[in-house]
Amino acid sequence: MNKNLFFACSVITAGLLSYATYLGLKVAPTEATMGDVQRIFYCHVPAAMTGFTMFFVNFAASVAYLWKRSPRADALAVSAAEVGVVFCTVVLVTGPIWARYAWGKWWVWDMRLTTTLVLWLLYLSYLVMRRSSEAGSTAVMAAALAVFAFLDVPIVYMANRWFRTNHPQPMIGTPSLDPQMAHVLYVNMLAFFLFGCLIYWFRYELERTVQKVAAIHVRRAGLGTTAMMALPAMFFAQYQPPPPSRVDPHVYLYGAYFAAWTIYISYLLLLATRLAKLRKETAELG
């Protein structure tokens, strides 16, 4: 990894993320129906776009692995899937927070929501399978599962076009989206896409290093995916809070942003822990 380039990209991305968040929370026009809670849109949609992009990279790399059996393609695939699951988790957490205010329920079995949950579970299954064994056959089966899992991505994207759903109809690129809102959304999409690419770059380099260590039969350190295996409990919570009208809308808005960044920062800390263990393992090799 080119450390200077990575550092420069990190600084640029951090600045763009800060600017994009400011635009989303303070500059974007207040939506007439939902008020400030609608600003969750500016972290929810970019997370979905970045997650879908990572799943496409996983799909392409998995096809390449099935064709060439290349360790590099395998590293590209597993890294993309893991980062994609992180962003998809943000979607599944911020979405119900928004839904609680808009619909009065944390979760409904709406076609868009249900297919997104299925997508998350499929890629989680891929990660579990990928880490279950070092055998080559396991990597092949996981790659095949990844190809199958990606079929759900266009279904998720088209769900609110093909079916009657509670989820809002498509707004991006339509006259119904206020031009200033569109500008803020596109800035946020760019910022979070670059953020996702930066994490992916780091995760890929980590995976390649792990492969090199594994090649000389040294135990791989800290590669569990258990931190992402818990289904958000709010989906099945029986407790019903007070009606949204009695709660300050900003509780939902800032709660969604806090939840999203808690997930992002937790994952970055997990990667840092993996790196520390890997460095220690490499040092023991001399």
Digit-coded pLDDT (tens) for 24-78: 999 988 887 888 888 898 999 999 999 999 999 999 999 999 998 898 999 999 9
Task: Report residue 11's pLDDT band, with 50, 70 and 90 as the boundaries.
Answer: very high
**Which region among 110-114, 146-150, 208-212, 244-248 has the lowest average model confidence (pLDDT)?**
244-248
Task: Return the pLDDT at 169.
Answer: 62
Most confident stretch, 87-91, 235-239, 250-254, 278-282: 87-91
| Cβ-contact 18, 32 below 8 angstroms | no
Q: In 10 A of CB 273, how many CB atoms?
A: 13
Task: Return the pLDDT at 16.
Answer: 95
- Structural domains of the chain, count: 1
- Region 114-124: mean pLDDT is 92
Structural domain including 280 reads: 3-234+241-284
Residue at token pair 């809308």: 249
Task: Return the pLDDT at 236.
Answer: 40
Task: Return the pLDDT at 286.
Answer: 60
135: left (phi over 0), alpha (psi -120 to 50) or beta: beta
Task: Return the pLDDT at 168.
Answer: 65
Q: pTM here?
A: 0.84
- For the residues of 171-237, what is the DSSP string, one character each? -TTSTTS-HHHHHHHHHHHHHHHHHHHHHHHHHHHHHHHHHHHHHTT----S---GGG-SPPGGGG-
pLDDT of 211 strictly over 50:
yes
Task: Return the pLDDT at 219.
Answer: 41
Task: Return the pLDDT at 233.
Answer: 43
